[in-house]
Amino acid sequence: MRRLLIPLLASTLLLAACKSASSAGKDSASVPTTETTRGLKADESEAVVKKSEGRQATKEWLTAKVKATVGAGEKSMTVNGTLRMRRDDVVQLSLFVPVLGMEALRLEFTPQDVLVLDRLNKEYVRATYDEVSFLREASLDFYALQALFRNELFVPGKRSVAGSEKLFSVEQSGNGFSLTLKNSPRLRYAFRTSSKGNIEELLVTPKQPNGTEFCWNYGNFQPFDGNPFPMDMLMTLKGVKRPVSLKLVFSSLKEASDWQTRTTVGKKYERRKAEEVLSKYGL
**Domains identified in the chain, total number:** 1
pLDDT tens per residue, range 210-266: 667 788 999 999 999 888 999 999 988 766 667 778 899 999 999 999 999 999 999
Quick check: 31 pLDDT over 70? Answer: no
- 131: three-class secondary structure by DSSP: helix
pLDDT tens per residue, range 92-102: 999 998 777 78
Quote the domain boundaries for residue 171. Answer: 2-280
φ and ψ at 133, to 5 degrees? -55, -45
Average pLDDT of the chain is 82
| Alpha helix ranges (H) inside 54-198 | 133-137, 142-150
CATH number at 177 reads: 2.50.20.10
pTM for the whole thing? 0.85
In the chain, % of residues over pLDDT 70: 80
Q: Closest Cα to residue 47, out of 186, 179, 226? A: 179
Which residues have a Cβ under 8 Å from the Cβ of 58 and sit 6 or more positions away?
A: 225
- 157: three-class secondary structure by DSSP: coil
Average pLDDT over every residue of 120-146:
82
Q: Closest Cα to residue 140, out of 163, 159, 164? A: 159
